[in-house]
């Protein structure tokens, strides 16, 4: 049975033969009380609060360029213990201590890694040290434990589990973001990105509600873990909010030192300009709109005559009326230059039916502008309804919904979610030389 010999090392007894064939009982390092052990790993990291992690140098190097440089610049001695490492291979070569917070980081969860001094120990470090507990390191150690497990392809042990209680979701998210923050501080975001993305996606539909509520925050998270699905969703909300004159804290992007994060702000501005062009095109299409049945192009041996026009008199009447309504909206600045970015006008046209040019409003219109009796007939109202339906197609590109939070063809969010990202536009593609 494993038994504890020191505060954080666990051993198991094993019978072995020495060079003379004599059997003896030895203690073999089986694991750590807090942390984990990858047998044969060349790197061991420990804290003064009793944590220890043993991992392979290859996993450590591959996690980040910073870790690779650490091992190259501090090639520690081969660490031997009298009765602990009875495994084939080189054994542990690097001993690192999780030290105090870095001076240039305000977040005290971000710690420094310092090589363990071996001068006073004659290049030998005993793995049976009794480490002194330090509760201040506990929270940081829990987060580093999760990061190291992900780096070694082990199952991460998140403290906050997914729950049906939505009040626990923020803790579930914050813990993963804290691990990401630590990984980024060591240039190891790429090593944890896939696991953390899957961690967020476990929230299901609830995740997209949080993304819609705070797209700036999720754009930063998505950029750090290079998540295309999170980035696309957060971007369409951010662009829509800003375009409709709603608040979003863009200072978050500018305060970051990562050039990829700063590039997000530039991308948003580009997408806002693209959206403005899209809205202007849609408004021009509305003004030029003719229902398809009104087109009668001349063809061989056929020329549209007066009979064709008179047969569609109701369509011509309704087109004139609807065009006047469109022009009235534009003249009153209800279009793309409006305070809401034109949302009220677009939503009204998208709804069609009785959303505008209702029977009541037409009654007062007819009093001011006397028309023929046909203007109050059923064919006229049928033609008006048909024209409103076909006019909706001019807004198809604007009303595309790229958000995951809800499929809202009528833009019930109060802003447009029609902007998406092309493959070459992601910040980690546009700015490939960033640290992570």
In three state form, how does the secondary structure of the chain look? Answer: CCEECCCCEEEEEEEEECCCCCEEEEEEEEEECEEEECCCCCEEEECCCCEEEEECHHHHHHHCHHHHHHHHHCCCCCCCCCCCCCCCCCCCCEEEEEEEECCCCCCCCCEEEEECCCHHHCCCCCCCCCCCCCHHHHHHHHHHHHHHHHHCCCCCCCCCCCCCCHHHHHHHHHHHHHHHHHHHHCCCHHHHHHHHHHHHHCCCHHHHHHHHHCHHHHHHHHHHHCCHHHHHHHHHHHHHHHHCCCCCCCHHHHHCCCHHHHHHHHHHHHHHHHHHHHHHHHHHHHHHCCCHHHCCCCECCECCCHHHHHHCHHHHHHHHHHHHHHHHHHHCCCCCCCCCCCHHHHHHHHHCHHHCCCHHHHHHHHHHCCCCHHHHCHHHHHHHHHHHHHHHHHHCCCCCCCCCCCCCCCCCCCCCCCCCCCHHHCHHHHCCCCCC
Note the pLDDT of residue 312: 85
φ, ψ for residue 183 (rounded to 5)? Answer: -60, -40
How many Cβ atoms sit within 10 Å of the Cβ of residue 55? Answer: 24
pLDDT, residue 106, reads 66
Number of domains comprising the chain:
1
282 lies in a domain? no
Q: How far is CA 19 from the centre of its chain?
A: 59
Query: For residue 347, with 0-12 CB atoms within 10 Å meaning exposed, 13-18 middle and 19 or more buried, which class applies?
Result: middle
Q: Does some domain include residue 374?
A: no
Domain assignment of residue 235, yes or no? no
Domain containing 73 equals 3-155
Lookup result for tokens 């004659």:
122
- Does 247 reside within a domain? no
Whole-model pTM: value is 0.80
Query: Do the domain assignments include residue 228?
Result: no
Residue 140 lies in a domain: yes
**pLDDT score for 120:** 38
Q: What is the pLDDT along the chain (436 residues), one digit of tens a residue?
A: 333 333 444 444 555 666 677 766 555 454 566 888 887 788 888 887 778 888 898 999 999 999 998 888 866 554 444 334 443 334 667 888 887 776 656 677 788 888 765 443 343 333 333 334 455 568 888 899 999 999 998 888 888 777 777 878 999 999 999 999 999 999 999 999 999 999 999 999 899 999 999 999 999 999 999 999 999 999 999 999 999 888 777 777 766 778 888 899 899 999 999 999 999 999 999 999 998 888 887 776 777 778 877 778 888 888 988 999 999 999 999 999 988 889 889 989 999 888 998 877 777 666 665 666 666 678 888 889 999 999 999 999 998 889 987 655 554 668 899 999 999 999 999 887 555 5
126 vs 14: CA distance, rounded Å: 19
Query: In what order do the strands lie in the sheet containing 3-4?
Result: 3-4, 9-17, 23-32
Return the pLDDT at 366.
66
Pairing of strands 94-101, 111-115: antiparallel
CB atoms within 10 A of CB 388: 20
Instruction: Give the integer Cα–Cα distance in Å for 361 and 345.
Output: 17
Q: Which candidate, 292, 291, 289, places its Cα nearest to that of 325?
A: 289
In a domain, 7, yes or no: yes
Q: Given this model, what pLDDT does residue 5 score?
A: 39
d(CA 163, CA 182): 25
pLDDT of residue 84: 40
Residue 287, pLDDT score: 92
Q: Which residues pair with 32 in a beta bridge?
A: 9
Taking the C-alpha atoms of residue 399 and residue 417, their distance in angstroms, rounded to an integer, is 7
Look at residue 54 and tell me if it is in a domain: yes
Q: 16 — phi, psi (to 5°)? A: -135, 165
């Amino acid at each position: 049975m494993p038994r504890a010999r020191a505060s954080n090392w666990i051993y198991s007894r094993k019978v072995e033969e020495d060079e003379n064939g004599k059997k003896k009982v030895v203690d073999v390092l089986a694991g750590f009380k807090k942390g984990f052990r990858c047998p044969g790993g060349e790197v061991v990291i420990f804290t003064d609060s009793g944590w220890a992690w043993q991992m392979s140098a290859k996993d450590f190097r591959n996690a980040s360029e910073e870790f690779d440089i650490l091992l190259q610049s501090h090639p520690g001695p081969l660490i031997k213990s009298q009765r602990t490492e009875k495994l084939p291979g080189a054994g542990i070569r690097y001993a690192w201590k999780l030290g105090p917070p870095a001076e240039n980081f305000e977040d005290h969860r971000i710690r420094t890694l310092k090589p363990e001094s071996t001068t006073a120990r004659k290049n030998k470090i005993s793995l049976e040290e009794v480490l002194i507990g330090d509760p201040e390191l506990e929270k940081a150690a829990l987060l580093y434990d999760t990061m190291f497990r992900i780096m070694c392809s082990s199952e991460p042990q998140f403290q906050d589990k997914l729950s049906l209680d939505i009040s626990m979701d923020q803790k579930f998210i914050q813990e993963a973001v804290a691990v990401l923050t630590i990984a980024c501080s060591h240039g190891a975001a790429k090593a944890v990105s896939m696991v953390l993305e899957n961690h967020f996606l476990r929230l299901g539909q609830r995740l997209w509600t949080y993304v819609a509520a705070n797209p700036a925050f999720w754009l930063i998270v998505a950029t750090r873990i290079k998540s295309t699905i999170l980035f696309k969703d957060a971007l369409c909300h951010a662009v829509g909010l800003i375009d409709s004159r709603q608040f979003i804290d863009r200072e978050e992007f500018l305060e970051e030192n990562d050039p990829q994060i700063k590039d997000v702000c530039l991308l948003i501005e580009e997408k806002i300009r693209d959206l403005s062009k899209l809205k202007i095109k849609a408004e021009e299409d509305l003004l030029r709109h003719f229902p398809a049945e009104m087109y009668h192009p001349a063809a061989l041996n056929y020329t549209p005559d007066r009979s064709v026009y008179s047969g569609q008199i109701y369509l011509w009447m309704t087109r004139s009326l609807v065009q006047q309504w469109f022009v009235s909206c534009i003249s009153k600045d209800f279009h793309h230059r409006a305070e809401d970015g034109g949302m009220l006008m677009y939503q009204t046209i998208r709804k069609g039916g009785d959303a505008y040019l209702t029977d009541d409003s037409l009654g007062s219109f007819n009093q001011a502008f006397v028309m023929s009796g046909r203007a109050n007939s059923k064919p006229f109202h049928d033609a008006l309804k048909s024209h409103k339906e076909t006019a909706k197609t001019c807004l198809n590109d604007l009303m595309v919904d790229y958000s995951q939070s809800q499929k809202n063809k009528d833009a019930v969010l109060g802003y447009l979610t029609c902007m998406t990202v092309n493959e070459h536009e992601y910040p980690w593609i546009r700015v490939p030389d960033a640290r992570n």
